[in-house]
Amino acid sequence: MTATDTHCAIEAVWRIEQAKLIAGLARLVRDVGVAEELAQDALVAALEQWPKSGIPEKPGAWLMASAKHRAIDLFRRSKLLERKRREISYELEIEQEAAQPDFDRALDDSVGDDLLRLIFISCHPVLSTEARVALTLRLLGGLTTEEIARAFLVPETTIQQRVVRAKRTLSEKRVPFEVPPGDELGGRLASVLAVIYLIFNEGYSATAGDDWMRPQLCEEALRLGRILAELAREEPEVHGLVALMEIQASRFPARTASTGEPVLLLDQDRARWNQLLIRRGLAALERAEALAGTSRGAAGPYALQAAIAACHARARTPEETDWARIVGLYGALAELTPSPIIDLNRAVALAMLFGPEAGLEVVEALRSEPALQRYHLLPSVRGDLLRKLGRLEEARTEFVRAAGLTQNERERKLLLDRAAGCARS
Protein backbone atom coordinates (compact mmCIF):
# COMPACT_ATOMS: atom_id res chain seq x y z
CA MET A 1 0.00 0.00 0.00
CA THR A 2 1.42 3.38 -1.00
CA ALA A 3 1.67 6.32 1.38
CA THR A 4 -1.21 7.98 -0.49
CA ASP A 5 -3.36 4.86 -0.10
CA THR A 6 -2.55 4.73 3.61
CA HIS A 7 -3.51 8.36 4.13
CA CYS A 8 -6.81 7.80 2.27
CA ALA A 9 -7.49 4.79 4.47
CA ILE A 10 -6.69 6.80 7.61
CA GLU A 11 -9.08 9.51 6.49
CA ALA A 12 -11.82 6.93 5.97
CA VAL A 13 -11.19 5.39 9.39
CA TRP A 14 -11.26 8.84 10.97
CA ARG A 15 -14.64 9.64 9.42
CA ILE A 16 -16.07 6.45 10.86
CA GLU A 17 -14.45 6.53 14.29
CA GLN A 18 -14.25 10.24 15.14
CA ALA A 19 -17.63 10.61 16.84
CA LYS A 20 -17.17 7.43 18.87
CA LEU A 21 -13.68 8.53 19.94
CA ILE A 22 -14.80 11.98 21.06
CA ALA A 23 -17.86 10.55 22.81
CA GLY A 24 -15.84 7.99 24.73
CA LEU A 25 -13.14 10.48 25.67
CA ALA A 26 -15.66 13.14 26.73
CA ARG A 27 -17.15 10.66 29.20
CA LEU A 28 -13.72 10.27 30.76
CA VAL A 29 -12.40 13.84 30.74
CA ARG A 30 -15.78 15.61 31.14
CA ASP A 31 -14.89 18.24 28.55
CA VAL A 32 -15.88 18.10 24.88
CA GLY A 33 -13.13 20.49 23.80
CA VAL A 34 -10.41 18.48 25.52
CA ALA A 35 -11.89 15.25 24.13
CA GLU A 36 -11.71 16.58 20.59
CA GLU A 37 -8.09 17.67 21.09
CA LEU A 38 -7.16 14.22 22.40
CA ALA A 39 -8.84 12.57 19.43
CA GLN A 40 -6.97 14.88 17.06
CA ASP A 41 -3.70 13.97 18.80
CA ALA A 42 -4.48 10.31 18.20
CA LEU A 43 -5.12 11.06 14.53
CA VAL A 44 -1.74 12.80 14.24
CA ALA A 45 -0.08 9.77 15.83
CA ALA A 46 -1.80 7.50 13.31
CA LEU A 47 -0.65 9.69 10.41
CA GLU A 48 2.92 9.41 11.71
CA GLN A 49 2.98 5.71 12.56
CA TRP A 50 0.59 3.83 10.28
CA PRO A 51 2.43 4.57 7.01
CA LYS A 52 5.44 2.81 8.57
CA SER A 53 3.79 0.05 10.60
CA GLY A 54 0.66 -0.51 8.52
CA ILE A 55 -2.96 -0.01 9.50
CA PRO A 56 -3.77 -2.03 12.65
CA GLU A 57 -6.38 -4.78 12.60
CA LYS A 58 -8.63 -2.71 14.87
CA PRO A 59 -7.92 0.92 13.95
CA GLY A 60 -10.66 2.38 16.15
CA ALA A 61 -9.31 0.60 19.21
CA TRP A 62 -5.78 1.77 18.38
CA LEU A 63 -6.92 5.39 18.16
CA MET A 64 -8.81 5.14 21.46
CA ALA A 65 -5.84 3.57 23.23
CA SER A 66 -3.53 6.29 21.92
CA ALA A 67 -5.96 9.02 23.00
CA LYS A 68 -6.38 7.53 26.47
CA HIS A 69 -2.62 7.42 27.04
CA ARG A 70 -2.48 11.11 26.10
CA ALA A 71 -5.36 11.78 28.49
CA ILE A 72 -3.36 10.26 31.32
CA ASP A 73 -0.42 12.51 30.46
CA LEU A 74 -2.73 15.50 30.36
CA PHE A 75 -4.11 14.86 33.82
CA ARG A 76 -0.64 14.43 35.26
CA ARG A 77 0.70 17.57 33.62
CA SER A 78 -2.24 19.59 34.90
CA LYS A 79 -1.66 18.32 38.42
CA LEU A 80 -5.33 17.56 38.75
CA LEU A 81 -4.50 14.77 41.17
CA GLU A 82 -3.54 17.39 43.73
CA ARG A 83 -6.60 19.57 43.26
CA LYS A 84 -9.68 17.39 43.29
CA ARG A 85 -10.38 13.90 44.42
CA ARG A 86 -12.92 13.64 41.63
CA GLU A 87 -10.19 13.96 39.02
CA ILE A 88 -8.25 11.14 40.71
CA SER A 89 -11.11 8.81 39.93
CA TYR A 90 -11.08 10.02 36.32
CA GLU A 91 -7.38 9.16 35.91
CA LEU A 92 -7.78 5.79 37.59
CA GLU A 93 -10.73 5.03 35.31
CA ILE A 94 -8.68 5.96 32.25
CA GLU A 95 -5.69 3.91 33.44
CA GLN A 96 -7.90 0.90 34.10
CA GLU A 97 -9.43 1.10 30.63
CA ALA A 98 -6.01 1.68 29.03
CA ALA A 99 -4.75 -1.50 30.71
CA GLN A 100 -7.43 -3.64 29.07
CA PRO A 101 -6.03 -5.85 26.33
CA ASP A 102 -9.16 -5.63 24.13
CA PHE A 103 -9.65 -1.94 23.48
CA ASP A 104 -12.16 -2.62 20.73
CA ARG A 105 -14.48 -4.45 23.11
CA ALA A 106 -14.06 -1.78 25.76
CA LEU A 107 -14.94 0.89 23.20
CA ASP A 108 -18.04 -0.97 22.01
CA ASP A 109 -19.28 -1.65 25.55
CA SER A 110 -20.33 1.95 26.15
CA VAL A 111 -20.22 3.51 22.70
CA GLY A 112 -24.02 3.70 22.41
CA ASP A 113 -24.44 5.58 25.68
CA ASP A 114 -21.45 7.80 24.93
CA LEU A 115 -22.74 8.76 21.47
CA LEU A 116 -26.17 9.53 22.89
CA ARG A 117 -24.59 11.78 25.53
CA LEU A 118 -22.51 13.54 22.86
CA ILE A 119 -25.60 14.17 20.72
CA PHE A 120 -27.43 15.74 23.65
CA ILE A 121 -24.50 17.90 24.73
CA SER A 122 -23.84 19.12 21.16
CA CYS A 123 -27.48 20.24 20.93
CA HIS A 124 -27.71 21.68 24.46
CA PRO A 125 -30.12 24.64 24.88
CA VAL A 126 -27.39 26.84 26.42
CA LEU A 127 -25.99 27.10 22.88
CA SER A 128 -27.45 29.17 20.07
CA THR A 129 -29.07 27.30 17.18
CA GLU A 130 -26.16 28.20 14.90
CA ALA A 131 -23.67 26.92 17.49
CA ARG A 132 -25.58 23.66 17.94
CA VAL A 133 -25.56 23.03 14.20
CA ALA A 134 -21.85 23.81 13.83
CA LEU A 135 -20.82 21.74 16.86
CA THR A 136 -22.99 18.78 15.84
CA LEU A 137 -21.54 18.71 12.33
CA ARG A 138 -18.02 19.13 13.72
CA LEU A 139 -18.12 16.48 16.45
CA LEU A 140 -20.68 13.99 15.18
CA GLY A 141 -20.63 14.60 11.45
CA GLY A 142 -16.86 14.76 11.24
CA LEU A 143 -16.99 17.73 8.88
CA THR A 144 -14.15 20.21 8.89
CA THR A 145 -14.83 23.87 9.60
CA GLU A 146 -14.12 24.55 5.92
CA GLU A 147 -16.76 22.03 4.82
CA ILE A 148 -19.36 23.43 7.24
CA ALA A 149 -18.62 26.99 6.16
CA ARG A 150 -18.95 26.04 2.51
CA ALA A 151 -22.26 24.28 3.14
CA PHE A 152 -23.79 27.29 4.91
CA LEU A 153 -22.08 29.94 2.76
CA VAL A 154 -20.40 31.73 5.66
CA PRO A 155 -16.71 32.52 6.26
CA GLU A 156 -14.65 29.69 7.74
CA THR A 157 -13.64 31.98 10.62
CA THR A 158 -17.32 32.33 11.54
CA ILE A 159 -17.70 28.56 11.91
CA GLN A 160 -14.43 28.34 13.85
CA GLN A 161 -15.63 31.00 16.27
CA ARG A 162 -18.99 29.29 16.73
CA VAL A 163 -17.35 25.96 17.52
CA VAL A 164 -14.80 27.50 19.91
CA ARG A 165 -17.46 29.54 21.71
CA ALA A 166 -19.75 26.52 21.94
CA LYS A 167 -17.10 24.35 23.57
CA ARG A 168 -16.13 27.18 25.91
CA THR A 169 -19.76 27.72 26.90
CA LEU A 170 -20.30 24.03 27.64
CA SER A 171 -17.17 24.05 29.81
CA GLU A 172 -17.98 27.29 31.64
CA LYS A 173 -21.59 26.25 32.28
CA ARG A 174 -20.33 22.88 33.50
CA VAL A 175 -22.88 21.11 31.35
CA PRO A 176 -22.90 17.48 32.54
CA PHE A 177 -21.92 14.82 30.03
CA GLU A 178 -25.09 12.79 30.44
CA VAL A 179 -28.42 11.92 28.93
CA PRO A 180 -31.00 14.31 30.45
CA PRO A 181 -33.13 12.94 33.29
CA GLY A 182 -36.69 11.90 32.51
CA ASP A 183 -38.35 15.22 33.29
CA GLU A 184 -36.00 17.05 30.89
CA LEU A 185 -35.70 14.43 28.19
CA GLY A 186 -38.67 15.53 26.07
CA GLY A 187 -37.56 19.14 25.69
CA ARG A 188 -33.92 18.24 25.12
CA LEU A 189 -34.84 15.56 22.57
CA ALA A 190 -36.91 18.14 20.69
CA SER A 191 -33.79 20.34 20.46
CA VAL A 192 -31.73 17.44 19.07
CA LEU A 193 -34.36 16.56 16.47
CA ALA A 194 -34.73 20.21 15.45
CA VAL A 195 -30.97 20.52 14.85
CA ILE A 196 -30.84 17.35 12.76
CA TYR A 197 -33.86 18.41 10.68
CA LEU A 198 -32.46 21.92 10.22
CA ILE A 199 -29.28 20.38 8.80
CA PHE A 200 -31.33 18.15 6.51
CA ASN A 201 -33.53 20.99 5.27
CA GLU A 202 -30.56 23.20 4.44
CA GLY A 203 -29.26 20.37 2.29
CA TYR A 204 -32.64 19.55 0.76
CA SER A 205 -33.49 23.12 -0.28
CA ALA A 206 -30.52 25.42 0.17
CA THR A 207 -31.59 28.84 1.43
CA ALA A 208 -28.92 30.65 -0.55
CA GLY A 209 -26.20 30.20 -3.15
CA ASP A 210 -25.99 28.64 -6.60
CA ASP A 211 -26.99 25.05 -5.71
CA TRP A 212 -30.58 23.86 -5.39
CA MET A 213 -29.48 21.07 -3.02
CA ARG A 214 -26.46 20.24 -0.86
CA PRO A 215 -26.62 16.43 -0.59
CA GLN A 216 -23.71 16.20 1.87
CA LEU A 217 -25.76 17.93 4.57
CA CYS A 218 -28.72 15.65 3.93
CA GLU A 219 -26.47 12.60 4.15
CA GLU A 220 -25.03 13.79 7.48
CA ALA A 221 -28.49 14.50 8.89
CA LEU A 222 -29.73 11.08 7.78
CA ARG A 223 -26.69 9.39 9.31
CA LEU A 224 -27.24 11.22 12.61
CA GLY A 225 -30.93 10.37 12.56
CA ARG A 226 -30.24 6.69 11.96
CA ILE A 227 -27.70 6.64 14.81
CA LEU A 228 -30.20 8.32 17.12
CA ALA A 229 -32.92 5.85 16.12
CA GLU A 230 -30.63 2.99 17.18
CA LEU A 231 -29.80 4.69 20.47
CA ALA A 232 -33.32 5.88 21.34
CA ARG A 233 -35.40 3.03 19.99
CA GLU A 234 -38.50 3.75 22.07
CA GLU A 235 -38.89 7.41 21.07
CA PRO A 236 -41.57 7.66 18.35
CA GLU A 237 -40.57 11.12 17.12
CA VAL A 238 -37.02 9.96 16.45
CA HIS A 239 -38.39 7.33 14.08
CA GLY A 240 -40.83 9.88 12.69
CA LEU A 241 -37.99 12.22 11.77
CA VAL A 242 -35.96 9.40 10.23
CA ALA A 243 -39.01 8.37 8.20
CA LEU A 244 -39.51 11.92 6.98
CA MET A 245 -35.87 12.32 5.93
CA GLU A 246 -35.67 8.89 4.26
CA ILE A 247 -38.76 9.56 2.14
CA GLN A 248 -37.72 13.07 1.20
CA ALA A 249 -34.21 11.90 0.36
CA SER A 250 -35.70 9.26 -1.96
CA ARG A 251 -36.63 12.09 -4.38
CA PHE A 252 -33.08 13.39 -4.85
CA PRO A 253 -32.46 11.79 -8.28
CA ALA A 254 -35.63 13.41 -9.66
CA ARG A 255 -35.37 16.85 -8.04
CA THR A 256 -33.01 18.32 -10.62
CA ALA A 257 -32.85 18.23 -14.42
CA SER A 258 -29.68 17.26 -16.26
CA THR A 259 -28.82 20.98 -16.38
CA GLY A 260 -29.12 21.28 -12.59
CA GLU A 261 -32.43 23.17 -12.74
CA PRO A 262 -34.98 22.39 -10.00
CA VAL A 263 -37.86 20.03 -10.80
CA LEU A 264 -40.94 20.52 -8.61
CA LEU A 265 -42.65 17.58 -6.91
CA LEU A 266 -45.61 17.15 -9.26
CA ASP A 267 -43.33 17.35 -12.32
CA GLN A 268 -40.81 14.75 -11.13
CA ASP A 269 -40.23 11.40 -12.83
CA ARG A 270 -41.31 9.09 -10.02
CA ALA A 271 -39.55 6.15 -11.63
CA ARG A 272 -36.33 7.85 -10.53
CA TRP A 273 -37.32 7.95 -6.87
CA ASN A 274 -35.14 5.68 -4.71
CA GLN A 275 -37.39 2.79 -3.74
CA LEU A 276 -34.99 1.49 -1.08
CA LEU A 277 -35.15 4.79 0.79
CA ILE A 278 -38.94 4.82 0.44
CA ARG A 279 -39.17 1.34 1.95
CA ARG A 280 -36.87 2.37 4.79
CA GLY A 281 -38.93 5.48 5.37
CA LEU A 282 -42.24 3.63 5.43
CA ALA A 283 -40.80 1.08 7.87
CA ALA A 284 -39.59 3.88 10.17
CA LEU A 285 -43.01 5.54 9.94
CA GLU A 286 -44.70 2.27 10.87
CA ARG A 287 -42.37 2.02 13.86
CA ALA A 288 -43.16 5.61 14.92
CA GLU A 289 -46.90 5.06 14.66
CA ALA A 290 -46.69 1.79 16.59
CA LEU A 291 -44.79 3.47 19.41
CA ALA A 292 -47.15 6.44 19.49
CA GLY A 293 -50.25 4.26 19.47
CA THR A 294 -52.94 3.68 16.91
CA SER A 295 -54.64 7.06 17.46
CA ARG A 296 -53.74 9.62 14.81
CA GLY A 297 -53.80 12.32 17.46
CA ALA A 298 -50.98 10.57 19.31
CA ALA A 299 -48.54 11.11 16.45
CA GLY A 300 -45.97 13.89 16.84
CA PRO A 301 -45.14 16.60 14.28
CA TYR A 302 -42.35 14.64 12.57
CA ALA A 303 -44.47 11.50 12.27
CA LEU A 304 -47.33 13.57 10.81
CA GLN A 305 -45.01 15.17 8.26
CA ALA A 306 -43.64 11.74 7.43
CA ALA A 307 -47.20 10.47 6.90
CA ILE A 308 -47.74 13.34 4.43
CA ALA A 309 -44.53 12.45 2.60
CA ALA A 310 -45.65 8.80 2.56
CA CYS A 311 -48.85 9.78 0.71
CA HIS A 312 -46.70 11.15 -2.11
CA ALA A 313 -44.32 8.17 -1.99
CA ARG A 314 -47.16 5.65 -2.32
CA ALA A 315 -48.74 7.41 -5.32
CA ARG A 316 -47.45 6.14 -8.65
CA THR A 317 -48.63 9.33 -10.35
CA PRO A 318 -49.58 12.80 -9.04
CA GLU A 319 -53.21 12.03 -9.87
CA GLU A 320 -53.23 9.02 -7.53
CA THR A 321 -52.14 11.11 -4.53
CA ASP A 322 -54.51 10.87 -1.56
CA TRP A 323 -55.04 14.62 -1.21
CA ALA A 324 -57.94 14.17 1.21
CA ARG A 325 -55.66 12.39 3.68
CA ILE A 326 -52.97 15.02 3.18
CA VAL A 327 -55.45 17.80 3.98
CA GLY A 328 -56.45 15.94 7.14
CA LEU A 329 -52.85 15.37 8.18
CA TYR A 330 -52.03 19.06 7.71
CA GLY A 331 -55.05 19.88 9.85
CA ALA A 332 -53.79 17.60 12.62
CA LEU A 333 -50.32 19.11 12.30
CA ALA A 334 -51.73 22.65 12.53
CA GLU A 335 -53.56 21.74 15.73
CA LEU A 336 -50.40 20.28 17.24
CA THR A 337 -47.97 23.00 16.13
CA PRO A 338 -49.86 26.02 14.77
CA SER A 339 -47.91 27.78 12.02
CA PRO A 340 -48.80 29.92 9.01
CA ILE A 341 -46.33 27.85 6.95
CA ILE A 342 -48.34 24.71 7.74
CA ASP A 343 -51.50 26.61 6.75
CA LEU A 344 -49.84 27.55 3.46
CA ASN A 345 -48.99 23.93 2.74
CA ARG A 346 -52.54 22.93 3.61
CA ALA A 347 -53.79 25.54 1.13
CA VAL A 348 -51.82 23.77 -1.63
CA ALA A 349 -53.38 20.43 -0.67
CA LEU A 350 -56.86 21.99 -0.59
CA ALA A 351 -56.29 23.38 -4.08
CA MET A 352 -55.35 19.93 -5.33
CA LEU A 353 -58.44 18.40 -3.69
CA PHE A 354 -61.12 21.00 -4.37
CA GLY A 355 -59.62 23.31 -7.00
CA PRO A 356 -57.47 26.46 -7.00
CA GLU A 357 -60.26 28.70 -5.65
CA ALA A 358 -60.32 26.74 -2.38
CA GLY A 359 -56.56 27.06 -1.95
CA LEU A 360 -56.51 30.73 -2.93
CA GLU A 361 -59.11 31.57 -0.28
CA VAL A 362 -56.74 30.32 2.44
CA VAL A 363 -53.72 31.99 0.86
CA GLU A 364 -55.49 35.38 0.72
CA ALA A 365 -56.08 35.17 4.47
CA LEU A 366 -52.39 34.45 5.04
CA ARG A 367 -51.13 37.51 3.16
CA SER A 368 -51.40 39.65 6.31
CA GLU A 369 -49.38 37.20 8.44
CA PRO A 370 -46.24 39.04 9.68
CA ALA A 371 -44.20 35.81 9.68
CA LEU A 372 -44.81 35.35 5.94
CA GLN A 373 -44.03 38.86 4.74
CA ARG A 374 -40.52 37.89 3.58
CA TYR A 375 -41.32 34.23 2.89
CA HIS A 376 -40.88 33.67 -0.84
CA LEU A 377 -43.14 30.62 -1.03
CA LEU A 378 -46.24 32.68 -0.18
CA PRO A 379 -46.18 34.69 -3.44
CA SER A 380 -44.92 31.57 -5.25
CA VAL A 381 -47.96 29.54 -4.17
CA ARG A 382 -50.30 32.45 -4.82
CA GLY A 383 -48.81 32.89 -8.28
CA ASP A 384 -49.33 29.21 -9.09
CA LEU A 385 -52.98 29.31 -8.00
CA LEU A 386 -53.63 32.53 -9.95
CA ARG A 387 -52.02 30.97 -13.02
CA LYS A 388 -54.35 27.97 -12.79
CA LEU A 389 -57.29 30.37 -12.59
CA GLY A 390 -56.15 32.15 -15.74
CA ARG A 391 -55.24 35.39 -13.95
CA LEU A 392 -51.89 35.46 -15.70
CA GLU A 393 -50.78 39.06 -15.13
CA GLU A 394 -51.40 38.78 -11.40
CA ALA A 395 -49.59 35.44 -11.40
CA ARG A 396 -46.61 36.93 -13.21
CA THR A 397 -46.37 39.71 -10.61
CA GLU A 398 -46.39 37.16 -7.79
CA PHE A 399 -43.68 35.00 -9.37
CA VAL A 400 -41.46 38.08 -9.85
CA ARG A 401 -42.04 39.06 -6.22
CA ALA A 402 -41.15 35.55 -5.04
CA ALA A 403 -37.97 35.64 -7.14
CA GLY A 404 -36.97 38.86 -5.41
CA LEU A 405 -37.36 37.27 -1.97
CA THR A 406 -35.42 34.04 -2.44
CA GLN A 407 -31.63 33.97 -1.99
CA ASN A 408 -31.15 30.75 -3.95
CA GLU A 409 -30.07 31.43 -7.51
CA ARG A 410 -31.52 28.21 -8.96
CA GLU A 411 -34.89 28.91 -7.38
CA ARG A 412 -34.81 32.54 -8.51
CA LYS A 413 -34.29 31.47 -12.12
CA LEU A 414 -37.14 28.93 -11.84
CA LEU A 415 -39.52 31.61 -10.55
CA LEU A 416 -38.51 34.12 -13.21
CA ASP A 417 -39.03 31.44 -15.89
CA ARG A 418 -42.51 30.85 -14.54
CA ALA A 419 -43.17 34.60 -14.62
CA ALA A 420 -42.01 34.72 -18.23
CA GLY A 421 -44.29 31.80 -19.05
CA CYS A 422 -47.27 33.79 -17.76
CA ALA A 423 -46.30 36.75 -19.95
CA ARG A 424 -46.08 34.56 -23.07
CA SER A 425 -49.45 32.86 -22.52
Dist. CA 190–CA 175, nearest whole Å: 18
DSSP annotation of 185 reads H
What's phi and psi for 391, nearest 5 deg? -90, 70
Q: Is residue 218 part of a domain?
A: no
Q: Is residue 39 part of a domain?
A: yes
Distances (CA, A) of 228 to 86, 113, 138, 267: 30, 11, 17, 33
User: Dihedral angle at the C-alpha atoms of 326, 330, 336, 339, nearest 10 degrees?
Assistant: 160
CB 217 within 8 A of CB 202: yes
Q: Is residue 65 part of a domain?
A: yes
Number of domains in the chain: 1
Dist. CA 368–CA 373, nearest whole Å: 8
Q: What is the domain range of residue 51? A: 1-109
Q: Is residue 292 part of a domain?
A: no
Question: How does pLDDT run along the chain (425 residues), one tens digit per residue?
Answer: 676 777 888 888 888 888 888 888 888 888 888 888 998 898 898 888 888 888 888 888 898 888 888 888 777 766 544 555 455 455 555 555 555 444 444 434 444 688 888 889 999 999 999 999 999 988 888 788 888 887 787 899 999 999 999 999 999 998 888 888 777 788 889 899 999 998 999 889 888 777 888 888 899 899 999 989 988 888 999 999 999 999 999 999 999 988 888 999 999 999 999 999 999 999 999 999 999 874 444 689 999 999 999 999 999 999 999 999 999 999 999 999 999 999 999 999 999 999 999 999 999 999 999 999 999 999 999 999 999 999 999 999 999 999 999 989 999 999 999 999 998 76
Q: Is residue 84 part of a domain?
A: yes
Q: Is residue 48 part of a domain?
A: yes
Q: Is residue 146 part of a domain?
A: no
Q: Is residue 54 part of a domain?
A: yes
